[in-house]
Amino acid sequence: MMADQLAYMTAAAEYGRLSSLPILFEPYVLVRDPELIQQSLAQGHTVMLKDRFTHELGRVLGQGLVTSEGDLWRRQRKLVAHAFIPRRIQTYGDAMVAAAHRSLDDWSDGQEIVIHKAMAELTLDVVGRTLFDADVRGTAREVGHALHVISDFYTEVLEKPIQPPEWWPSPRMFRFRKAVRNVDRIVTGMIEDRRKSGEDRGDLLSALLQAQDEDGGGMSDEQLRDECITLFLAGHETTSIALANTFYLLSKHPEIEARVHEEAAAVLGNRRATSEDYQRLEYTERVIKESMRLYPPVYTIGRQLLEDFELGGYTIKKGVTLLFSQWVTHRRPECFAHPLRFDPDRWLPEPAKAIHKYAYFPFGGGPRICIGNHFAMMEAVLVLATLIRQYRLEILPGQTLTLKPSVTLRAAADLNMRLVSRGSEPARAA
């Protein structure tokens, strides 16, 4: 497990629809079967809570949507949902495309880039603009560094169940506390500025400030901080991983890459993409879906049982943590034909009918499904189409994607890619 978490879970799944696997003396049950995953994730909070590891994230995310439970989560989910209604998401399309064009402005023919870093900067730019209508590119390096420290910290939490308290005077805890303080400072600064100005800038923060429940109550400053940090962190790394891995897969499958480019050229011509184009970029969407099947940015989710739970003919004891692994289920041969093949056309409407709804769950499922799933899909599709219209990204010889499971499924080492210009004119505004 410690040496290779993904291989361990893959092997454990061979034992059956459910397999019991003690991890560091704690009882876990891996649920690999889509039907049983659906039955479990459909449960509300009466039977299960998020797992211990997710609650550990509370040190950074406070009581935001990812980490909160029960009545607090229910109230917050309703309030935050105001910021994610389809009409609002549509309006974020422009910011997504603009961020892709800002990246293009920095790119040139023959240049080499580290793909995961380039996509992380781009999606941070998107989240900064859509969440805070702010240019966080200037602070991107600072935030990027802080996120790395936080993520490395949690990789260790995954490996070592007994953690020192937060005040522990070690260099590691010092780095972690400093990183949290930095992200905190950037986010609270943005909230304070907005409270002062009081203007509606049409971004997520304005929507969160305006959101009120049935009793007319809004969010406290502290709750607002927790939700903003949650959206900031949850909304950027996942999408950047999805995009970077897609470019990697496309570089290994030139015929698929050519089709994505063809679609982008046909749909966009010589103008900038708009959010309406998202519906038209059908093949590009299938490519993103298929890329997240093979390389799901979130590779496992967990739930701890509050009481005994009947599942698949077994009684699973209270206290056990159920694990649902996108990495495992997305690659099971009984769920997908030729599971290791990168085949976007398996998502064409007809063949996709044969795929169980929970054989593919990159965004989770049930009441706690990712609130940003439509946002993320639109972002990934519009950004991919915009970039690919201008450049082909070639992987440098000898490079392969290796993975490092952390909070998300990150690349273990830098992947260098070369930009090859298609020589097309820069796109004009729509």
The amino acid occupying position 414 is: D
User: Taking contact as CB under 6 A, which single stretch among the options 144-152, 209-217, 273-281, 367-375 is the one that binds ligand HEM?
Assistant: 367-375
- Can you say whether the dihedral through the CA atoms of 153, 156, 157, 163 is positive or negative? negative
Least distance CB 170 / ligand HEM (angstroms): 29
User: Is 230 one of the binding residues for ligand HEM (CB under 6 A)?
Assistant: yes
Structure tokens given for 293:
């099947």
DSSP string for residues in 30-99:
EE--HHHHHHHHT--TTTEEE-HHHHHTHHHHTTSTTT--HHHHHHHHHHHHGGGSHHHHHHHHHHHHHH
Name which position in 62, 93, 128, 235 contacts ligand HEM (CB under 6 A). Answer: 235
User: Taking contact as CB under 6 A, which single stretch among the options 94-102, 236-244, 311-319, 410-418 is the one that binds ligand HEM?
Assistant: 236-244
CA dihedral 186, 184, 60, 76 (to 10 degrees): -90
User: Is 120 one of the binding residues for ligand HEM (CB under 6 A)?
Assistant: no
User: Is 74 one of the binding residues for ligand HEM (CB under 6 A)?
Assistant: no
193 within 8 A of 166, measured Cβ to Cβ: no
User: Is 239 one of the binding residues for ligand HEM (CB under 6 A)?
Assistant: yes
Kindly determine how many residues on this chain lie close enough to bind ligand HEM according to the rule CB under 6 A: 23
Name which position in 37, 60, 249, 370 contacts ligand HEM (CB under 6 A). Answer: 370
Least distance CB 112 / ligand HEM (angstroms): 25
Name which position in 62, 93, 128, 362 contacts ligand HEM (CB under 6 A). Answer: 362
CA–CA–CA angle 228, 405, 247 (5° rounding): 80
The amino acid occupying position 242 is: A
* Antiparallel, parallel or unpaired: β 321-324 and 391-395: unpaired
Least distance CB 378 / ligand HEM (angstroms): 9
Name which position in 129, 286, 368, 392 contacts ligand HEM (CB under 6 A). Answer: 368
Ramachandran category for residue 423: left, alpha or beta (phi over 0 → left; psi -120 to 50 → alpha): left
Least distance CB 330 / ligand HEM (angstroms): 12
User: Is 260 one of the binding residues for ligand HEM (CB under 6 A)?
Assistant: no
Contact string 298-337 vs ligand HEM (x = CB under 6 A): x--x------------------------------------
Return d(Cα 407, Cα 187) in angstroms, integer: 21
Helix, strand, or coil (residue 419): strand
Return d(Cα 34, Cα 48) in angstroms, integer: 18
Name which position in 30, 66, 267, 359 contacts ligand HEM (CB under 6 A). Answer: 66
182 within 8 A of 222, measured Cβ to Cβ: no
Return d(Cα 413, Cα 402) in angstroms, integer: 7
Contacts of 72 (CB under 8 A, 6+ apart): 63
Cβ proximity to ligand HEM, 130 vs 419, nearer residue: 130
Return d(Cα 94, Cα 418) in angstroms, integer: 27
Name which position in 132, 309, 327, 375 contacts ligand HEM (CB under 6 A). Answer: 375
DSSP string for residues in 281-347:
-HHHHHHHHHHHHHS-SS--EEEEESS-EEETTEEEPTTPEEEE-HHHHTT-TTTSSSTTS--GGGG
User: Taking contact as CB under 6 A, which single stretch among the options 111-119, 147-155, 158-166, 372-380 is the one that binds ligand HEM?
Assistant: 372-380
User: Is 147 one of the binding residues for ligand HEM (CB under 6 A)?
Assistant: no
Cβ proximity to ligand HEM, 23 vs 234, nearer residue: 234
Contact string 21-60 vs ligand HEM (x = CB under 6 A): -----------------------------x----------
406 within 8 A of 154, measured Cβ to Cβ: yes
Name which position in 238, 325, 390, 406 contacts ligand HEM (CB under 6 A). Answer: 238
Residue nearest to ligand HEM (CB): 372
User: Is 242 one of the binding residues for ligand HEM (CB under 6 A)?
Assistant: yes
User: Is 234 one of the binding residues for ligand HEM (CB under 6 A)?
Assistant: yes
- Which residues of the shown chain bind ligand HEM in the complex (CB under 6 A)? 50, 65-66, 77, 230-231, 234-235, 238-239, 242, 297-298, 301, 362-364, 368, 370-372, 375-376
